[in-house]
Amino acid sequence: MVTTGKSKTCVWRWQERFMAEGVDGLLREKTRPPGTPRTPDEKVAEVIRLTQDAPPHEATHWTIRAMGKAVGLAASTVREIWKAHGLSPHRWRQFKLSNDRAFAEKLHDVVGLYVAPPAHAVVLSVDEKSQIQALDRTQPGLPLKKGRGPTMTHDYKRNGTTTLFAALNVLDGSVIGQNMQRHRHQEFIRFLNQIERDVPEGKSVHGILDNYCTHKHAKVRAWLARHPRWTFHFIPTSSSWLNAVEGFFAKLTRRRLKHGVFHSVVDLQAAINRFIAEHNSTEAKPFVWSADPDDIIAARNRGFQMLDSIH
């Protein structure tokens, strides 16, 4: 066993075969029962072809069992074929290509502020998260314990909504936030006034915003004219991923709002304010942009080319 590197049972089987068949029995493999037959290449190609087409029945995509029934294969075989060829018809990816004619110009402008902020200036990524609901559960849930996750009822009670106006300072990652009942141009101007009070004098302010009509209202433009140290930089249409404050909104939703229980709007606003204060004191850090704008433009162009070729 030490010499051959085999287990005891393997050596015992060799000994039994030698006793029964002699040396000739050890020179050939012992017959084994037939295994699962290999799926023909034609059948595999048929599965791949059908998977990439819409199913003939009323469904948006193929399922494993529907495909197995259509081609006469076991569900496990269809699963193996899909896995081997990287096919996942049940998974969908969302996308949106910007149709902004000045996409490249606006992209370089905003990324330039992220990568090389102007001297003696503050760069703020500004946006609002509207219609944040104060949801209360109809029954109290159970806390986390060993072997069981926390529980929460699927239904809820609506106790009103609030809108969070937020500005992320790109240089240090801190957030200026203000909760308001609505998100009109009046509330946006009130938020701009708060930022104006918080930003030290002598510094110019560059605001990065999306193309929401509130940000381009005539009274907002008049406010800008009265505050010459301010400059607005609008991201391309359908490009919210370019606005840095969206990352903070995602963290707020994931960590504080999604599984939160709020008995009133005041309770919700207090929780948001505490989260912002905790972020500023413990987690705020400079925003770092790493993607190459030329790569983004090239990817967008490839997307349009692919859509044009298919449609």
Handedness of CA 238, 169, 219, 183 (dihedral sign): positive
Q: Which residues pair with 161 in a beta bridge?
A: 133
In a domain, 128, yes or no: yes
pTM of the model: 0.80
The beta-carbon contacts of 78-81 under 8 Å, at least 24 apart in sequence, are 78/47, 81/39, 81/44, 81/47, 81/48
Residues 16 and 73 in one domain: no
Domain shared by 65 and 153, yes or no: no
CB under 8 Å, gap of 24 or more: what pairs does 281-289 form? 283/173, 284/172, 284/173, 284/174, 284/175, 285/172, 285/173, 286/170, 286/171, 286/172, 286/173, 287/114, 287/125, 287/168, 287/170, 287/171, 287/173, 287/244, 289/111, 289/114, 289/115, 289/244
- Give yes or no: residues 25 and 74 share one domain: no
| 275 in a structural domain | yes
Would residue 91 count as lying in a domain? no
Same domain, 73 and 119: no
pLDDT by residue for the chain (311 residues), tens only, comes to 677 777 888 888 888 888 888 877 777 766 666 666 788 999 999 999 999 999 999 999 999 999 999 999 999 999 999 999 999 999 998 888 999 999 999 999 999 999 999 989 999 999 999 999 999 999 988 889 998 899 999 999 999 999 999 999 999 999 999 999 999 999 999 999 999 999 998 899 999 999 999 999 999 999 999 999 999 999 999 999 999 999 999 999 999 999 999 999 999 999 999 999 999 999 999 999 999 999 999 999 999 998 888 87
- Residue 223: closest CA among 250, 205, 202, 244: 205
Query: How far, in Å, CA of 128 to CA of 180, rounded?
Result: 10
CATH of the domain at 134: 3.30.420.10
Amino acid at 176: I
Residue 225 lies in a domain: yes
Claim to verify: residue 205 and residue 73 sit in the same structural domain: no
Q: Are residues 141 and 289 in the same domain?
A: yes
Segments forming the whole domain that contains residue 148: 103-302
188 part of a folded domain: yes
- 52: which residues sit within 8 A by CB, 6+ positions away? 87
176 φ/ψ angles, rounded to the nearest 5 degrees: -100, 120
Co-location of 127 and 240 in the same domain: yes
d(CA 179, CA 273): 8
Residues 269 and 210 in one domain: yes
Residues 4 and 131 in one domain: no
Residues across the chain: 311
Q: Are residues 194 and 271 in the same domain?
A: yes
In the chain, the number of structural domains is 3
Residue 84 burial (CB count, 10 A): 10
Same domain, yes or no: 249 and 214: yes
Residue 293 lies in a domain: yes
Report yes or no: 78 and 48 within 8 Å, Cβ to Cβ.
no
- Closest C-alpha to 97, from 309, 269, 306, 311: 306
One-letter identity of residue 40 = P
Residue 146 inside a domain? The answer is yes
In a domain, 96, yes or no: no
Residue 1 has what pLDDT? 62
One domain for residues 109 and 238: yes
Residue 93 has φ and ψ, to the nearest 5°, of -110, 130
